[in-house]
Amino acid sequence: MTAVLAAAIWALLANMVAMLPHNMLHWNLARLLVLITPLIIWLIGRDFGVWAMLAFIVAVISLFRLPLAHMFKHLTGQLEPEK
């Protein structure tokens, strides 16, 4: 039950952060959510198994698709430097 409650709170917080204006507070809270995500994934995997964990990972990727794409481009060197 702890995993379900943690995932529900995480999802609500992620949606509330998404509604904030895109300033430093928004990005800092989003980074905090990304840092908490592996713990939630582990809790879900521990309590409900691999398939539930994979479903939550798909949901996380859906919510953070643009930041994850930006991070992937940055890590692979495909991101052009700002002028």
Q: pLDDT tens digits for 15-29?
A: 898 888 888 888 888
Longest dimension (CA), the chain: 49
DSSP state of 64: T
pLDDT of residue 81 exceeding 70, the answer is no
Q: Positive or negative CA dihedral for 57, 68, 27, 42?
A: positive
Q: Token pair 């953070």 is at which residue?
A: 64
Over residues 37-66, the pLDDT tens digits come to: 999 999 999 999 999 999 999 988 888 887
Cα 13–chain centre separation: 10
